[in-house]
Amino acid sequence: MLFSFLKRRKFLKSANTLELHPIKCYSELIDDEGIVSVLIPKIKNETLRNFASRYVKNMFMKVKLDKYGSEVWKKIDGGKNVDLIIQEIKNQLSDELIDAENRIINFIFILYQQDFITFKEIKNI
């Protein structure tokens, strides 16, 4: 476990952020206004989850993203790299978002730190 963490960290320090391909780890709900709520299972172990589903009313926690976070989340599909996601968001929300590139990169790495996403390049390590 520690060895894999060190390999991932070393890879991320040397990788070009704009060339990474983010992949979602969790599913989501999208409301009428286009706001995304990420569904995070309360119990990670599948066997325990099946057992507890009889007793626990809601098996998922919902993390609600804001307007900009929702747009970034919708663009993450594993096929687009970070640079392409930034360009699409800039075209879509050109007037509203100031310093878009840095904000989106920071948001994507926060999602990675919280295990909401991973990167296609890291899965191969």
Give the angle 108-38-12 at the CA atoms, nearest 5°.
Answer: 25
Picking from 90, 32, 30, the residue whose alpha carbon sits closest to that of residue 65 is 30
CATH second-level architecture of 7-123?
Answer: Alpha-Beta Complex (3.90)
Instruction: Tell me what pLDDT residue 72 has.
Output: 94
Instruction: Tell me what pLDDT residue 3 has.
Output: 54
Average pLDDT for runs of 10 along the chain of length 125: 74 87 94 94 82 80 93 93 92 76 91 92 74
* Ranges of each domain in the chain: 7-123
> 3-state SS of 41-110?
ECCCCHHHHHHHCCCCCCCEEEEECCHHHHHHHHHCCCCCCHHHHHHHHHHHCCCCCCCHHHHHHHHHHH
Picking from 78, 63, 53, the residue whose alpha carbon sits closest to that of residue 29 is 63
pTM of the model: 0.84
